[in-house]
A = this chain, B = another copy of it.
Amino acid sequence: MSMNRLIDRIVELKNPTVAGLDPKLGYVPNYIKEAAFEKYGYTLKGAAKALLEFNKGLIDALCEVVPAIKPQCAYYEMYGPAGVKTLYKTMEYAKEKGMLIITDGKRNDIGTTMEAYSIGHLGLTDVNGKQLSAFGGDMLTVNGYLGTDGIKPLLKVCDELDKGIFVLVKTSNPSSGELQDRLIDGKPVYEIMGEMCEKWGAESVCDPYGFSNVGAVVGATYPEQLKALREKMPHTFFLVPGYGAQGGGAEDVRHAFNKDGIGAIINSSRGIMCAYQKRGFEEKDYAQAAYLEAIRMRDDIQGVL
C-alpha cells in the first residue's frame, strides 16, 4: 500500500516532511540561469533547463534526509511543453535517488476523464499492448468537488500499482473558508469532504500504520480544524501545506499527527528552495542551504512530536 511506502520512508529517515519543488526563475542562482540561457537563449526551453538543473541540485542535497518531493505542476506548465518535460525529468531524477513523488496537480474530472489522469500521473499507459509510464508519480493531489465517480478510477490504479492520492479537504489559503467552512446539516463542507475521504479509503486501510490509500490535504494555517480533522479522520494520512512561508509553525502542525507521532507529512517549498537567499549563503551553496533548512525543519517538527 502506497501510504505504507511513504510512511516506511518517513519512519526510516525520522522525517515527516516533503520538499515542495515549485521553482520560479527568481529562485534559481544566476550561474545556472546564465549557462542555460547561453545554450538555449531566452526561451521557454532555456528557462525549463535552468529549473531542471536547480531541481537536480536540490534533490542531490535532500535525497538522503527528506523522504519525498512534491513538484507543483503549475510552475512547470508555466513554461509550456518544455516546462512539463522538466517536471518529468525532475521526477525521474528524484526516483533514481530513492525519493517518493507527490505530484501536486489537484486534478479533477468526471469518471472517464479521471481515468486518463489516473493512468497518466500514477498508472501505465497502453500503447498497442505495451504498458508505458507517462509521468510515474507515487501520489497525486486531487479535488473531490465532483464526488465519487471522479475518485474511483484513482482507487483502482492505487490498488493495482501501490499508489496513493491526497484529496483537498481544508486548504491553507485565506479564502478557503468561503466554501469549505460553510455548514451542511451543521457540518462544515471540509468535514463532509473528510468523511468522503474516510469512505473512499475504507477498503485500503492496512497494517501496520492503519492508514488508507486516500490521504487528505489539510493546511497548517488552520490548526484548530487540523486538530478536529485528525480526530475525525483516523485512517486518512494528511499532506499539510502552509508551514513556513505561509505562516504555519511546528506547534500548528503538531495536531496533524496521532499519538504515535504518525499521520502526516509536512510540506515546505519556498523555505527550502530559497533558503540560500534568506540565510545569506552564496549562490553556489544553494543546495547546501536547502539541506540545512531541511534538517532544521525536521528537527523543529520532531521537537513537538
Contacts and interface: CB of A to CB of B under 8 A. Distances in A.
Interface in A29-55: 33, 37, 42-44, 46-47
B113 A72 contact: yes
Given A80-B120, A130-B42, A175 B146 contact: yes
Contact of A111 (B22, B129, B173): B173
A74 B114 contact: yes
Contact of A78 (B108, B119, B144): B119
A37 B128 contact: yes
A149 interface: yes
Interface residues of A, number: 73
Contact of A74 (B77, B120, B179, B193): B120
A178 B106 contact: no
B106 A108 contact: yes
A212 to B, nearest CB: 18
A117 B75 CA distance: 7
A38 to B, nearest CB: 12
Contacts of A184: 182-184, 189
Q: Number of copies of this chain in the oligomer?
A: 2
A85 B85 CA distance: 9
Contact of A80 (B134, B179, B180): B134
A175 B148 contact: yes
Interface in A138-187: 143-150, 168, 171-180, 182-185
Contacts of A75: 113, 116
Contact of A107 (B44, B74, B84, B193): B74
A111 B117 CA distance: 23
A57 interface: no
Contact of A135 (B37, B80, B130, B143): B80
Contacts of A107: 74, 106
Given A120-B83, A149-B173, A184-B183, A77 B110 contact: no
A106 B107 CA distance: 7
Contacts of A33: 128
Interface of A: 22, 25, 33, 37, 42-44, 46-47, 72, 74-75, 77-81, 83-85, 87-88, 106-111, 113-114, 116-117, 119-121, 125-130, 132-135, 143-150, 168, 171-180, 182-185, 189, 192-193, 196, 241
20 contacts: A25-B127, A37-B128, A42-B127, A44-B127, A74-B117, A75-B113, A77-B134, A78-B117, A78-B125, A81-B84, A108-B143, A108-B168, A110-B172, A110-B241, A143-B143, A145-B180, A146-B168, A146-B171, A182-B185, A184-B184
